[in-house]
Structure 1
Amino acid sequence: MPRLAPPEAPLSPLQKVLRFHWGLALLIAAVACVGFLMLYSVAGGDLDPWASRQMVRFAAGMALMFGVAMIHIRYWRTLAPLSYVGSLTLLAAVEVAGHTGMGATRWIAIGPLQLQPSELMKIAVVLALARYYDWLGEGRVSRPLWLLPPLLLILVPMALVLKQPDLGTALLLALGGGAVMWLAGVHWGYFLAAIALGAGLVTAVLESRGTDWQLLKDYQYRRIETFLNPESDPLGAGYHITQSKIAFGSGGLSGRGFMQGTQTRLNFLPEKHTDFIFTTLAEEFGFVGALSLLILYGLITLFCIVSAMANRDRFGALLTGGIGATFFLFFSVNMAMVTGLAPVVGVPLPLVSYGGSAMLVLLLAFGLAQSAHVHRPRG
């Protein structure tokens, strides 16, 4: 990816609107509508308490995305370090004044709002790394000394997130940051070393169980056991994934019908409006419905890939590619989790699961990608 291209003549508001990728906006709206439909279903055919609130958040998020897209990408480049420091400060503040829910301290009150700083951190890391590698240039990206700053940019928030505890978000921070480093041109040998280190860390985690230096919480170890053998405790730690698999199987090819899912309607399926909402979709609309949502996700990811490849501004290209990779990780980890291909780590389904912080931050991220697309050098 080449460095920053020479500046062009300023765009008029009309030109910015015309360059805005309306196809991406429609794809995002289509996915969100799937979410509204499923939240209506899991509430028993009622917009309250989830669907109506999600609609309001989505409308605010779309306005935010459009507003961010209209601001030139150079301003977001300038604000990248500040956004990282601000997000890290909020993340640290969770340790002091955070709100605890479902056994984890992940939220902080800002006025009437309950904000989850770890969601902001996912995008702030991508922004900061894109700015760093834009400044660094291509000739030094694989030199060991210049690898230390990006590793610190990733590891510091990871450590804070793991203390909440939130293993899923910590993994997404690592994978999203690693994707930006890969796009920036870091040598593949470092990634092989990281994989080997990860394998060693997994071994250490498993060996530490029951010792004074135990690295994970007891419930996280139970999740690992459940992933390996969910039938060992079908009414306890394995309950979530067991019920999820039953729902998937009952959906078949075309599903049981809208609001006709037995696992959902009879409340066998836990967290049906958040982490396991994809299971609800698969039960009611079957393989066809699940595949349709996956195609929409794939098209959104494809936009980010194509836009990044076409962008001659290094910062804009890295930012768009990093956002696309992070979005891909969001939905692939959730889908792997609820189908039993990965441990249950509490990652919501983007734009579909109920949640305010995740929705607004994701639409903010797409606003940044749109800004890079609108203001990319032409000609």
Structure 2
Amino acid sequence: MLAGKRILLIVGGGIAAFKSLDLIRRLRERGATVVPVLTNAAEEFVTPLSTSALAGQKVYRDLFDLTDEAEMGHIELSRAADLVVVAPATADLMGKMAAGLANDLASTLLMATDKRVLIAPAMNVRMWEHPATQRNLATLQGDGILVVGPDVGDMACGEHGPGRMSEPLAIVDAVEAALADGPLKGKHVLVTSGPTHEPIDPVRYIANRSSGAQGTAIARSLAALGADVTFVTGPADVAPPAGVKVVKIQTAREMKEAVDAALPADAAVFAAAVADWRVANASGSKMKKDGSGKAPALEFAENPDILAAVSQMKKGRPKLVVGFAAETDDVEANATAKRARKGCDWIVANDVSPETGIMGGSENAVTIISDEGAESWPRLTKDQVAAKIAAKIAEALS
């Protein structure tokens, strides 16, 4: 898939830089040309000689190298690539990118490029969780920067948690998704996924058993067909797909805000299992037993109906709006009624009765309800269902 593609690889400083050497090898195995750029800090972990030998290309290091400026200036270098990849993306590099700083070759290339940028963050868990890093991450994602990882695991410093750079093959998958040239190339598709958590108090919440697996698979399949995917996800059991813009939320109201911010879109797929109700009188402190044996009285308020709101937009409505109906009885009839009530184009209906094992499982059996009637598919893996839905969306948008 990467044959003929040119990747500008910026290697940041950190112990994860050693993985960049394997990443170069993996990208070249798939036919890509890799042009490496080393920061000063990266040279403390990998050498220009080893990087150049694996890439088969000259390594770029210094913004003020007059020879390089004469032969290939930093503007041309940043724009000759099909994709710019930063791996590892350190806290320092992410901060420079978010602030728009350009005081070395790497940061200047990132400011000067007109191509998509994919970062693979890597840092200590405390650095990753620091509010400044999370603010920078949100800024970068808002700017359209693609993110893969980080993973959770043991670190060289001896700590454990999120902050490990994704493995080279996972980064390659993200690169392929970012460069996918399929029938959805140039199309923006919004996908919601996972459950929402509606707080009762700071330690308890209302939720459902959705794993987020089907929505995640759909986003991944759409990206594989070349779509620019915005993926709004609740606290799912599965990791977000690579090569998409990820927006993480907790509540239905947060999801509504994220969806509004992501529009306009060519298509919207609402696969999330959004809670219909929230606790209106949620407590700011943990509710405790008072010895009376009486349960606390919870008051409920209706959550925003995201699917109906987007389906019934007067201006800027996506060309295709797809909803989901998880039913336990009268699946087709209930899904048909839901489609009419919400105003969406399709409803993907499935039977989530406990005996089916679909809710939280690896397989699904769906029926697509549309103007053309009901189209039932056999039981398939969720990845297979996602691929069929993505292909159907591509056909509808063509």
TM-score range, shorter chain: under 0.3
Please say which structure displays the higher CA radius of gyration. Answer: 2
Structure richer in strand, relative to its length: 2
Structure richer in helix, relative to its length: 1
Higher RCO, 1 vs 2 (CA within 8 Å, ≥6 residues apart): 1
Instruction: Name the TM-score, length of structure 2 as normaliser.
Output: 0.23
Instruction: Name the TM-score, length of structure 1 as normaliser.
Output: 0.24
